Amino acid sequence: MSVNLIVCNGAYKSGSTWVEKIVREVLEVTPFERDCLDEYQSDSLNFNKIEYFFKNSKSGNYVTKSHESSPIRVGEGNQGGISIKVLMIKRDPRAIFLSYYHHFCRSVGFKIPILLFYYCVGKYKLVEVYTYNSNWMEESDVLWLNYEDLHGDIEGEINKVADFLKVSVDVSAVVSATSISSLRNKEKSLKQKKFYRKGSPYEWKTSIPHSLSNKIVEVYRNPCLADRLVTWFLFDLRRKLFKLTFFRGV
């Protein structure tokens, strides 16, 4: 058996965790060595240690959740007989914004006005997501999934995953194991249960004012140069210079 690395990838709050859970039900998975693991995401690969993985991995199917923004780093693994397949997930930017808003409020410990959040942080996270997805658009051997489609036709999306990975599956069993309600119920801690929250793909329609909804779509589709620069300083430069993360995802 060859070494197969399956990367369940997506911008923050797009649904990569859900895709990972589905893939783990579809495949027989080999665990990573402890030295390869990410300290924040259990059972997932630390991409800073990917060379160690290439050199020391044994045959099997390795599955990792990722927010890896660089196709080059992932592509480096197509060497030495290691097969890499990437499953990307996209989500409506308004749903990403709302999910990130709730995550931010939980992290700081209090609820802030949603419009204030948009101007201080939210709009720049949307630009980051736009850039992230754009980086991957031209890559080959990538399966693109949509969060909304997983809600609307999960059986069809699971079949897409199985076809992409070239395996046969019991679709009904995978659906039963990976529905949002099932995943929430499997979590032991309240914190992890809240990670899945409502799971509704269209909650933004009733939670985000119409005028703000239009702003979100516009800044995501056509980020201006000024917003790109602020995003770079706010996220990329800060992380590179200071290795500073205020809490997960920021």
- pTM value is 0.85
**Separation of alpha carbons 117 and 98, rounded Å:** 10
Which structure tokens are listed for 28? 């027989």
d(CA 154, CA 171): 9
Give me the pLDDT at residue 197, please.
54
Tokens of 226: 């000024």
Q: Which residue from 196, 188, 186 is spatially nearest to 106, judged by alpha carbons?
A: 196
Look at residue 6 in the predicted model and tell me its pLDDT: 94
Cβ neighbors of 248 (< 8 A, separation 6 or more) are 40, 107
pLDDT at 245: 57
pLDDT digits (tens, 9 = 90+) for 170-204: 999 999 998 877 877 776 544 554 555 555 789 99
Domain extent listing, the chain: 3-242
pLDDT tens for 26-61 read: 999 999 998 888 887 778 998 888 888 888 888 899
Looking at residue 194, what is its pLDDT? Answer: 52
Residues of the chain with pLDDT under 70: 1, 75-81, 187-199, 242-250
Among candidate residues 49, 26, 12, the one with its CA nearest the CA of residue 169: 26
Q: Tell me yes or no: is domain 3-242 CATH 3.30.1540.10.
A: no
93 close to 149: Cβ distance less than 8 angstroms:
no
Predicted local confidence at residue 76, as pLDDT: 64
Virtual CA dihedral for 230, 103, 126, 115, nearest 10 degrees? -80
Q: CA 215, CA 205: separation in Å to the nearest integer?
A: 14
Q: What pLDDT shows up at residue 117? A: 96
The three-class DSSP label of residue 203 is coil
